[in-house]
Structures are given as structure tokens and as C-alpha cells.
């Protein structure tokens, strides 16, 4: 990595975009944190302890989504589709409610890493929340997240 762009990556630990972001951060020794639902719930079972996440008081995914959004300087939602649904759409709405910077990157976006770099610079983001669909909703989302983050780090 030519420079440490981010101080920390925050995510909720769900399979798919969240987990790809956390794994990417761990591999590159970038600090990570965030909140996950009580019981460390994820669609593939209990979240591994290697993910340094704090459990929320409840099993409600929306609670962890809001906490991660509020703990960060801004949020990027990764998706393969240009249309958001479920928790990703909730993330967008919560960001708007709390007037937090939000960026949606999807496969049709040209130069997504460049757009993310500009977003980070414009909003002076040091702690980035990374969100997006779970693996069962958008198989392959992990590769998109990793490729954009790799390009950002170059």
C-alpha cells in the first residue's frame, strides 16, 4: 500500500460485502471494528472471534447497522446491482437520516476506486464503514469489494 488511506474499517460482519471488507483489513493489518448482532449472528452461523466486533444489545441487524454508521466518518455501500434492497437500503436511509456521507458503488460505476478515493478525500474520512448485501443475496460481491479496495490501496 503506497499510503495508509484509512485509519480504520468498520463493518457488521455479515457474509458478503461486510466480511470481505473485514478480511481485507485484517490481511493488510488495517485496524477494524464495528458492531454485530447479539450472539455474533451472521447467515453462516456465529461470527469468528478473529473479527474484533462488539455485540449489540439485541439480535436486530438494524441496531448494528445504525451503530456502525454512527461510529464512522462515512459509509460506502458495495453491491453488484445498482438497486439497493434489504439492509443495504436501510443503511442508505439511516445515513440520510443522520446526515452522514454515503456512497453507493456497484458494477455499473466506472472507476469505482477513484470515486471511493474522492469520497474519502472530500469528506475527510478516516474511519470508513463498509456495507452491502450478504453473500446469499449477491454471490460474488466479495470479489468486487476486494478489487475496489485493492485499487484504492495502490
Domains of the chain: 8-153 (3.40.50.450)
User: Is residue 1 over pLDDT 50?
Assistant: no
Please give the C-alpha separations between residue 70 and each of 38, 82, 129, 140, in angstroms, as whole numbers: 18, 24, 9, 27
List the grid coordinates of 62.
Answer: 438494524
Determine the average pLDDT of the residues in 103-110: 97
- The helix (run of H) or strand (run of E) holding residue 55 is strand 54-55
Please say whether the beta carbons of 73 and 127 come within 8 A.
yes
Task: Give per-residue pLDDT as tens, 54-68.
Answer: 999 999 999 999 999
pLDDT computed for residue 126 by the predictor: 97
- pTM assigned to the model: 0.95
pLDDT computed for residue 2 by the predictor: 42
Determine the average pLDDT of the residues in 1-14: 80
Task: Give per-residue pLDDT as tens, 77-93.
Answer: 999 999 999 999 999 99
User: Is residue 24 over pLDDT 90?
Assistant: yes
Task: Give per-residue pLDDT as tens, 44-57.
Answer: 999 999 999 999 99
List the grid coordinates of 79.
Answer: 453491491
Please say whether the beta carbons of 130 and 17 come within 8 A.
yes
Pairing mode of beta strands 41-42, 45-46? antiparallel
User: Is residue 110 over pLDDT 70?
Assistant: yes
User: Is residue 3 over pLDDT 90?
Assistant: no
φ/ψ (deg, to 5) at 22: -65, -45
- The helix (run of H) or strand (run of E) holding residue 127 is strand 127-131
CA 15 to chain centre: 11
Amino acid at each position: 500500500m503506497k499510503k495508509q488511506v484509512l485509519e480504520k474499517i468498520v463493518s457488521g460482519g455479515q457474509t458478503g460485502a461486510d466480511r470481505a471488507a473485514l478480511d481485507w483489513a485484517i490481511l493488510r493489518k488495517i485496524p477494524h471494528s464495528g458492531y454485530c448482532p447479539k450472539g455474533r449472528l451472521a447467515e453462516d452461523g456465529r461470527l469468528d472471534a478473529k473479527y474484533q466486533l462488539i455485540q449489540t444489545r439485541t439480535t436486530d441487524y438494524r441496531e448494528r447497522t445504525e451503530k456502525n454508521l454512527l461510529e464512522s466518518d462515512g459509509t460506502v455501500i458495495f453491491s453488484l446491482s445498482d438497486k439497493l434492497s434489504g439492509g443495504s437500503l436501510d443503511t442508505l436511509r439511516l445515513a440520510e437520516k443522520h446526515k452522514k456521507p454515503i456512497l453507493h458503488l456497484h458494477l455499473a460505476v466506472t472507476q469505482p476506486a477513484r470515486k471511493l478515493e474522492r469520497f474519502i478525500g472530500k469528506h475527510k474520512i478516516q474511519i470508513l464503514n463498509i456495507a452491502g448485501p450478504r453473500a446469499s443475496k449477491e454471490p460474488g460481491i466479495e470479489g468486487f469489494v476486494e478489487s475496489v479496495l485493492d485499487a484504492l490501496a495502490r
